[in-house]
Chain A
Amino acid sequence: MTTEITYYPGCSLEGTAVDYAASIAGITPLLDLQLNELEDWNCCGASSAHSLNAHLALALPARNLVLAEQAGRDVVAPCALCFNRLKAAEKALKSGAGAKVGIAYQGAIKVWDLLDYLTQETFITALAQKVVKPLKELKAVGYYGCLAARPPAVTDKQDFENPQNLERLLAALGASPLDWSFKTDCCGAGLAVARPDIIDTLVSRLYERALAAGAECFVVSCQMCQANLDLSQERISQKFGRDYYLPVLYFTELIGLALGHPQVEEWLAGHLVDPLPLLRQKGLI
């Protein structure tokens, strides 16, 4: 039986993260999941709204919540930042901030981030049964980033310091998830444009710690993290005189790979750090 849920893609899935969007559209039918894109959704305002204008930081995501509530189903966001802003607006509206800005929101629906939604027990079980190409010996660190997890008062997450669902998913797909201490450390994506020098420090630290854990790749659930770790890799390698090769894969791409989706290579072609050499070496492509 097909499950339906409202889908809030967010702006970058129409732009710099079209590969993530394509992989999501590719794998959800395999899980009998139908994503209904929220009609006329708008930008959540991201970090810039909450940095400069508290009203925008509430009213922009709130409009989406109201639309989603009218659509009548829970809403899922693939972007950690969108998820966080929707949750922050939900908390504010539920504690009475709506009246001040003229927004009526009952809060009858739940806001999910895509990783959490797809790693519910039923999906993990279904996925494990559909694996045709186990991701054997793929040594990966799960990188969750900040905002899907923190702050728990906003995200309602229990295991915000040491989440495990990417690891559970990777294990179900036959990969070898590695433990490391930096899975929720910040990559600084919000400063990537204005202060790339700061990113160099933060991201090179992540590369080094991932390598120290024995990782061959990152697996991410946030397109800001993906862009930041993928797009900066050449620049950071040059700056620090290192020769980093750490592909940054979306968890949805790995689901597609393990389940034998025919378009995986098209999705992966969008990455700047080409994952194909690694996947060929593992006999996965």
Chain B
Amino acid sequence: MPITTKPSLQPDPSLPARLSKANLAVSPCYQCRKCSSGCPLTFAMDLLPDRVIRLALLGQEDRVLNCRTIWVCSSCETCTTRCPNGIDIAGVMDWLKEEAVTRGVATPQPGVVAFHRVFLESIRRAGGRLPEALMLRRYGLFKLWHRPNIPELVRDLKLGLKLYRKGRLRLAGPKALKGQAEIEAIFKQAEF
């Protein structure tokens, strides 16, 4: 009887090759799991960090681009710091996030993706610096639209009011920079 391999388990070298090209080689992994042992976010992940690296090495694109792990990774850099083989694990997470968004993969964490988008769009619109209050308002609108949660909204508003009273939330955002055109050019070049 011929040995058959399920298509989904067929290793595909193109993903690890593209990672290598971005200075993010995953092939040195010898599965010591030090990354997962030191990761403070594992409780919120669906794949442990060492699994993400292993699946990336096997070219299991679907698994790694669709997982929750890449979006709840807080980029604390503990894994990258401790990897005995010098794999930039947090950098791999970033690469996978960008790849997932670029390819329009439906994310299991739309809130996190929206936050990053709103953050960057706010910098661009404000002409170079982050208008924190405006960014929080825009993210609040996203939440209201996509998953309205009234108690959470009331809590956020109360916190915002407290911060405003303490002088820690400025409603008027930063002025546009003299170099606003340079910032716009950077965003254009980034195809964002």
Chief secondary structure at chain A's binding surface: helix
Q: Which of A19, A57, A146, A235 contacts B168 (CB 8 A)?
A: A19
Contact assessment for A18 and B167 in the assembled complex, using a CB-CB cutoff below 8 Å = yes
Contact assessment for B169 and A15 in the assembled complex, using a CB-CB cutoff below 8 Å = yes
Size of the B side of the interface (Cβ < 8 Å), in residues, is 59
Q: Which of A123-131, A173-181, A191-199 contacts B (4 or more CB under 8 A)?
A: A191-199
Contact assessment for A42 and B179 in the assembled complex, using a CB-CB cutoff below 8 Å = yes
Contact assessment for A147 and B115 in the assembled complex, using a CB-CB cutoff below 8 Å = no
**A149–B71 CA distance with the chains assembled, in angstroms:** 22
Query: Which residues of B sit under 8 angstroms from A17, Cβ to Cβ?
Result: 168
B155 interfacial by beta-carbon distance below 8 Å: yes
Query: Which residues of A sit under 8 angstroms from B177, Cβ to Cβ?
Result: 40, 42
**A43–B163 CA distance with the chains assembled, in angstroms:** 22
Closest Cβ of chain B: how far from A61's Cβ, in Å? Answer: 11
> A11-B174, A51-B97, A188-B74 given as contacts; is B111 within 8 A of A194 (CB)?
yes
Interface string of B13-50 (1 = CB under 8 A from A): 00000000010000000000000000011011000000
Q: Which of B78, B88, B169, B179 contacts A63 (CB 8 A)?
A: B179
Closest Cβ of chain A: how far from B146's Cβ, in Å? Answer: 12
Residues of B within 8 A of A (CB): 22, 40-41, 43-44, 72, 74-78, 80-81, 88, 90, 94-95, 97-98, 101, 109, 111-117, 119-120, 123, 128-130, 132-133, 136, 139, 155, 159, 162-163, 166-170, 174, 177-179, 182-183, 186-187, 189-192
A-B pairs, top 3 by smallest CB distance, nearest first, are: A186-B76, A150-B77, A48-B119
What are 27 A-B residue pairs whose CB atoms fall within 8 Å in the complex?
A: A15-B130, A15-B168, A15-B170, A16-B169, A40-B178, A42-B128, A42-B129, A42-B179, A43-B123, A48-B116, A51-B116, A52-B97, A52-B117, A52-B120, A54-B95, A56-B120, A63-B186, A146-B75, A153-B80, A191-B112, A193-B115, A194-B114, A194-B115, A194-B139, A195-B112, A270-B167, A272-B162
